[in-house]
Structure 1
Amino acid sequence: MTYQETINYLFTRLPMFSRIGAAAIKKDLHNTIALCDALNNPQKQFKSIHIAGTNGKGSVSHMLAAILQTAGYKVGLYTSPHLHDFRERIKINGEMISEEYVIDFTKRIQPQIDLIEPSFFEITVAMAFEYFAKEQVDIAVIETGLGGRLDSTNIITPVLSVITNIGWDHMNLLGDTLEKIAGEKAGIIKQHIPVVVGETVEETKPVFEAKAQAMQAPLYFAYDQFTVIQKETIDHKLHVAMQETATNDVLPYTLDLPGIYQTKNIVTVLAAVRQLQQQNLAISEEHLQTALAATKQINGLHGRWEVLQSNPTLVLDVGHNEDGMKQIVAQLAESTYQQLHIIIGMVKDKEVEKVLALLPKEAHYYFTKAHIPRALAETDLQQKASAFQLNGNCFENVNAAIANALQHAHKDDLVLVCGSVFLVGEVVYSV
C-alpha cells in the first residue's frame, strides 16, 4: 500500500472517534494490551510523562516536550487529534513519524487488526509506543485521547502524571458531574508516581486527593507552587512574570503561544518541570526560557490563538467546549478590533447551546462545518444560534467562510475561526 492508501485504510477500516463519536470507544484496555503484547510491550522500554485534562493538555504536552528537547533529550510526543496530517500525532524531537514507518507498521499489525478489531485510536497508540521504543527515545510525553482511566494510553507507568483541569466535555462518555469526570481523569494516577494537577474546583479537588492517597502517589497542586503576577501580549507573544512560592523568585517568560489562557498552562508546566528536576532530569532555567519562546517552532503546535495574518487579523483557535469558549471570550475582551467576525462550526455531541450562550451578540457570524460525520450541519447551527441572537449566513466549508469574512472585513477587524479542532484542521491558508 502507498501512504495514502494506508491512511485511508486506517481511517475507514477502524472505528474512529473523530468521525463517528462514542461508537468508536472501547470500554476497557483489553485491545491496547493485546496489541502491545504482540509488539513485545514497547511502552515498557522508555520513560514517559502522562498528561490528561479537559482543556490545555495539548499545549502543556507540547511545551514540556519542547523543554525536554531543548535540554538535550530525545523526546517522543504523542498527541491527538491531528490538524492536517495523521503523522502530527507521533513525533520525535519535533519530526513527524515517517510515511514508511506508518505503512510498515500497518502491514505488520494487520493480523491483529483482523483478530481483535481494534479502534483507530488503539492502533495509533500502539504505533506510537513501538516507534518510540525502536527509536530509543529518552522520554516520551503522552497525551490521553479523552478521559484517562479507560484511555488507550493508560497502559503506561510514567515517571510523572499531569492533569491540567476538569471541565464539561464528553459527558456522554465520562459522566454528568464534575466529580465523575475528575474520577475518569484521575484514572491516570499510578501507584507511588507523583502527580501534578493544574487547576481544581470545589468538586474536583477531593477526587484527586482521594485517588492520590489510595495510590500513595505524591500530589502537587500547581497553583500552590507558582502564581502569575503579570501578563501582557505584545506582537503576538505572551509575556508573563511568574512568582515561585517556595523561593519568592520572580521568573519572566516569553511564550510564542499568545493565548491568555496559556497563563494557566504555564503554571502547570513549571510545576511539572520542578518534579522532573527532582528526578534528576537536567533542565535549566535557560532551557525553559528558550523552549517556551519557541514551542511552535520546535514541535509545531498550531491552532491555539494562532494569528495567520494582520489587516484584518485572522485567528485560528481550536476551542470547542464550554470552558474553551470561556477562554476565547476572555481573549476577545483583551483584544483590540473594530468589528468582530466569527466563523464557527461544531460537532453534534458537544453542548452546543452552552457554547453559543457565551458568544458576543454584536459579532458577524459565518456558520459552517467540518467534513466529518459528527459535524453539526451549518443550517442546524445557524438555527440554534438564532435563539441566542447570533446571526449570520451559512457556508458549506470553512475556507469559503473565511474568504467571505475577509472580503467583508475592514483592515482593523478581527476574523476568528473556532468551535472545532476538525474545522481548524480544514483551513487552507497561504499568504
Structure 2
Amino acid sequence: MKRFSNYSELTDYMDRLGLFHMDLSLARMEAFRDARGLSGVETVHVVGTNGKGSTTTFFCSLARAHGLKVGTFTSPHFVSPRERIQVNRRMLTEAAWVDLANEVMAVPGGEELTYFEFQTCLAMVAFERAGVDLAVMEAGLGGRYDATNVFRPGLTLFTPIGMDHEQILGPTLGDIARDKAGAIHEGGVAMTGPQEPEAMIQLQERAEQVRARLVYAVDAAGPVDRERLGLKGIHQTANARLALAGWRWYAAGRSIPTDRVIEAFGLESAFLPGRFQRVELDGREIILDGAHNAHALKALNAALDADGIRPGRVIFACLRDKTLTDMLPLIRTLTDGPILVPAMEGERASDNHALASAIGERASASESLEAALKSGPDTDGPTLVCGSLYLLSEFYILYPRFLTA
C-alpha cells in the first residue's frame, strides 16, 4: 500500500494521476463507498453547466448562517487543490490532506481512483471526520456518471444547463441535459432553476422515470435583492434564488427553523473568487469572471449591461476543447477596445495566436497574462479578464491576495 509522508509527495501523486484523465464509470467509486462505508454524511448535490460554484456557495452560506457545520466540495481550484475541500469555509491543513489521503489509499481500490474520484473520496472522509451536519457536493462534469453522484443526496439542485463538454456528454443540449438529469435518484427530490425547454424536458422525464419529485425554485422562493448578494452580477439572482429555495426545502424537511433576516445575511456574506469579482490592481480596475462558454458569456454581458459597465479592454483565453462558434461574437461584444489573448499554461490551452486571429482585428496575442495586464495604454473602463477558470488561476497565482474576501 502506498503511503505519503508529506504534502509534496501527495501533490506529485495527484499530478501523476492526470488532472484531466476521465473514465465515465461509477464502479470504482461504488466499490470504495461500499468498502469504506460513507453513508453517514448527509449530502446536497449541485449539478448543471453554469452557476454550480455560486449556487453551492450561496447554499453553504445560508446553512452556516443558520448554525450548521457545512463541508463543501468544489472544482476546479485556482492555486491549490486544498481549495476544493472546506469545512465552514476553511481549507484543511496540508497535514490533514496527507492523513486523509493515506486513509483513502488504505481502502481496497483506493489506488485505482482517478484524480477527481480520489479527491471526492478524500472529501467525504474529511467531512465524516469533521462531523459536519451537511456536505454540499458540486458535480465536476456531467451528472449520471460523475463521481459525486455515488452518494445518495437528500436534495439535488440543478443550475442552468447549457452547451459545454460536447465531446464527452454529447453534441446537443438534450444529450447534455439527459446526462446531467441522470443525477436524479429514484424516489429522491430535485430542484431546478430556469432551464431551456430542451433541458427541462430531460429533467422532467428523468424525474418521472425514477418516481422522483421535481420542484421548481420559483415555487419555493421569491425573487432576491441583487444589491444585497455577496456575489455580484444580475445572473447571480437566479443562483441565489435556487440556493434559497433549496435551503428552505431542506430545512423544512429537517425541522430546522429558518429566519428571513438570517437568510438575508447568508446571501449577503457569500464569497467566491472569480465570479464578477471587481478588484483594483496598480490603479486599474480589473473584473475577474470565469465565464468559459457561450451561456456564461451571455450572462456576463447581461451583468455588465445591468451595472452600466463597459470594459475598456478584455483579456480572454480558453481551453482548446471549447466550441468557439457561439463564443466568438459574444467575445467581440464585451468591449469596443482591444482584446488581448495571452498564452496559457497547460496542454489543454488554446493556441493564443490562432485564437486571436479567430476573434478578429481588435485581438492580439500576448506572451503571458502578466504581459497582457501590463501592456497597452490606459483605456476608459475596467479591464475584464475572462474565458477560463484556468486563466483566472494564473491571475491568482500572481496576486493571491484576491483569493479571499
Same fold, TM exceeding 0.5? yes
1:372 matched to 2:346? The reply is yes
Partners of 2:69 and 2:134 within 8 A in 1: yes
2:13 equivalent among 9, 13, 22? 9
Please give the root-mean-square deviation of Cα atoms over the aligned residues, in Å. Answer: 2.1
Q: Secondary structure at the match of 1:67?
A: helix
**C-alpha distance 273-396 of structure 1, shift in aligned 2 (>3 A):** same
Offset from partner CA, 1:213-255 (integer Å, 9 cap, x none): 2222121111344454x86xxxxxx41xxxxxxxxxxxxxx11
Opposite residue 184 of structure 2, the aligned amino acid is: I
Change (3 A) 1:35 1:399: farther
CA distance in structure 2 between the partners assigned to 1:115 and 1:413 by the alignment: 51
Residue aligning to 1:332: 304
1:395 Cα shift? 1.8
Q: How does 1:344-359 map to 2 (within 5 A)?
A: 344-359=316-331
- Take 2:277 and 2:350, find their aligned partners in 1: how far apart are those partners? 24
Please give the alpha-carbon distance, in whole angstroms, between the structure 2 residues aligned to 1:198 and 1:273.
13
8 Å contact from structure 1 (residues 71, 287) kept in 2: yes
Question: In the alignment, which of 258, 274, 285 is matched to residue 313 of structure 1?
Answer: 285
Q: CA 1:184/1:351 → structure 2, altered by over 3 Å: closer, same or farther? A: same
Q: Deviations over 1:384-430 (max 9, x none)?
A: 212xx4x233222212211225xx224x4210000000110110236
Q: Which residue of 1 aligns with 2:235?
A: 261
The reply on whether 1:420 has 2:388 as its aligned counterpart is: yes
| 2:294 is equivalent to residue 293 of structure 1 | no
Quote how far apart the aligned CAs of 1:285 are: 1.4
Deviation at 1:135, TM superposition (A): 1.1
| Displacement of 1:278 | 2.0
Distance 1:7 1:113, change over 3 A: farther
- CA distance in 2 between counterparts of 1:316 and 1:89 reads 19
Could you list the per-position Cα deviations for residues 16-44 of structure 1 after superposition, in whole angstroms to 9, with x for gaps in the alignment?
22xxxxxx111210111223334x222x1
Secondary structure at the counterpart of residue 177 of structure 2:
helix
> Structure 1: which 5+ runs fail to align?
18-23, 232-237, 240-253
Shift of residue 352, structure 1, vs aligned partner: 2.1
More strand as a share of residues: 1
- Say if 1:68 and 1:283, in contact at 8 Å, map to a contact too: no
1:150-184 CA deviation, whole Å, 9 max, x = no partner?
00011111111111111000111111121111111
Residue 41 of structure 1 aligns with which residue?
37
Matches within 5 A, 1:172-183: 172-183=167-178
Residue in structure 1 matching 2:57, options 50, 55, 62: 62
Is the CA contact 2:276–2:289 (under 8 Å) kept in the aligned structure 1?
yes
Partner deviation per Cα, 1:76-134 (whole Å, 9 max, x = no partner): 00000011221110000011122112112333444669875321101000100111011
Q: Give the distance between the partners of 1:333 and 1:425, measured in 2 at CA.
A: 26
- What is the 5 A alignment of 1:160-199? 160-199=155-194
SS in structure 2 at match of 1:173: helix
Map Cα deviations across residues 179-200 of structure 1 (whole Å, 9 max, x no partner).
1111111111112221101112
| Separation in 1, partners of 2:344, 2:119 | 22
Contact 1:368 1:377 in 2 (8 A): no
The C-alpha deviation readout for 1:312-362, integer Å capped at 9, x for no partner, is 321100010110011111122234457621001100111123211212262
State which of 343, 363, 368 in structure 2 corresponds to 1:397. 368
- Is residue 44–residue 153 contact of structure 2 (8 Å, CA) maintained in 1? yes
Q: Mapping of 1:153-232 within 5 angstroms?
A: 153-228=148-223
**Match in the other structure for 2:357:** 383
Q: For residue 375 of structure 2, what is the amino acid of its counterpart?
A: N
SS state of the match for residue 352, structure 1?
Answer: coil
* Superposed displacement of residue 377, structure 1: 1.8
Q: 1:265 to 1:338 in 2, by over 3 A?
A: closer
**Equivalent residues of 1:14, 1:117 under 8 A apart:** no
CA distance in 2, matches of 1:123, 1:339: 40
Worse overlay, 286-295 or 316-325? 286-295
Q: How many pairs does the alignment contain?
A: 391
- SS of the residue corresponding to residue 204 of structure 1 reads helix
Cα–Cα, structure 1 residues 8 and 100, in superposed 2: closer, same or farther, change >3 Å? same
Identity, in percent, stands at 30
- Opposite residue 264 of structure 1, the aligned amino acid is A
1:119 to 102, 114, 117: 114
Which residue is equivalent to 1:281?
A: 256
Tell me, yes or no, if structure 1 residue 72 matches structure 2 residue 67. Answer: yes
TM-score normalised by length of structure 1: 0.86
Amino acid at match of 2:156: S
Partners of 1:46 and 1:201 lie apart in 2 by 33
